[in-house]
Amino acid sequence: MPIRDDDGSDTFSELVPQVLRDSGALEIHNRLRQALSGWRRASDLLDPDDMLASCPASLEDRDGVASLRPLSFREPYAATPAGCRDFSPPEPCSYLRPGQVFCGNQRVNRIESSTTEDWPVEIRVQDVDLRQGMAWGTSSWQLPNGKAPVETTWQGEIVDNCNHTFDTQKWGASHLSDTKNWNKFPAFSQLYMAGSILGARCSGLKHCSHIFMRWKEQAFAKSGDDCGLTIAGFYYICLCRQTGDVEGFYVDPLSLPNHKLSLKAVTYGAPAGMQSFAAFQFR
């Protein structure tokens, strides 16, 4: 019997020429019909994203070098039972609040000269809105041979499963570059390998030991005539809840690669080794 579509049309009859059916090549006729039937069943059952999700996070390329498969950025599976995954936003963090200061350096590896520079930097958080998943602040950079610090303003996106996910979708980022750069953070890699990342959201953010953000510099607040810096790129950021340490990677196709940001939370006026905490509320 010919294979029929849902609308009653005879798909097989349309695909197999009449001359073939009239030629008496019954065996070829039956084989083609079986092949078409199998193809239709497979196309109904297989989903490319499902096949990708079933692969291990780390694959071996032809040279035997481990490489990460891109994240499958899509909505959670419809078949996922309700309550099995918790996509709640992260809990408030005492280190992510207005007035918080981070100090450290940005390490720049210059490929053309094989040299490394450490630029002292101070980051100050000016405002935080957890309902919108946003943060704002200023940065102060001390460049080598610079007469005065270069200051910029920045805006941050907090990965919260609601307003922002791990899928950047702008600033020249791609699924592959997101996968590569987020996996530079051990805290993210653990979630990724455990299968907690689904549809660019994470089922373990609420009680995760780290907060993930993107920081995008908006403008120069103060700089020299030719500071040589660009603010076209953005930072992938990972903040540790327990220590207040911040790690970041600057990404800009037009800039030198390998910009790594390393910061520690500080409170001016507090005794050495102590960190002050403040009440934090949603607005």
Q: What is the pLDDT of residues 35-68, one digit of tens each?
A: 555 544 444 433 434 433 444 444 444 344 344 5
One-letter amino acid for residue 179 of the chain: T
Asked whether the beta carbons of 136 and 100 are under 8 A apart, the reply is: no
Q: What is the pLDDT of residues 235-268, one digit of tens each?
A: 999 999 999 999 999 998 777 667 999 999 997 6
DSSP per-residue letters across 11-74 = HHHHHS-HHHHHTT-HHHHHHHHHHHHHHHHHHHH--HHHHHHTS-SEEE-TTS-EEEPPP--S
Bridge partners (DSSP) of residue 127 are: 136
- Rounded-to-integer distance, Cα 270 and Cα 101, Å: 12
- What pTM does this model have? 0.68
- Taking the CA atoms of residue 65, residue 69, residue 70 and residue 75 in that order, the dihedral angle to the nearest 10 degrees is -170
* Domain boundaries, given as residue ranges, for the chain: 11-45, 101-266
Note the pLDDT of residue 53: 40
Report percent pLDDT > 90 for the chain.
Answer: 45
Please check the confidence at residue 100 and state whether its pLDDT lies above 60: yes
Highest-confidence segment of 16-30, 179-193, 212-226 = 179-193
DSSP for residue 115: E
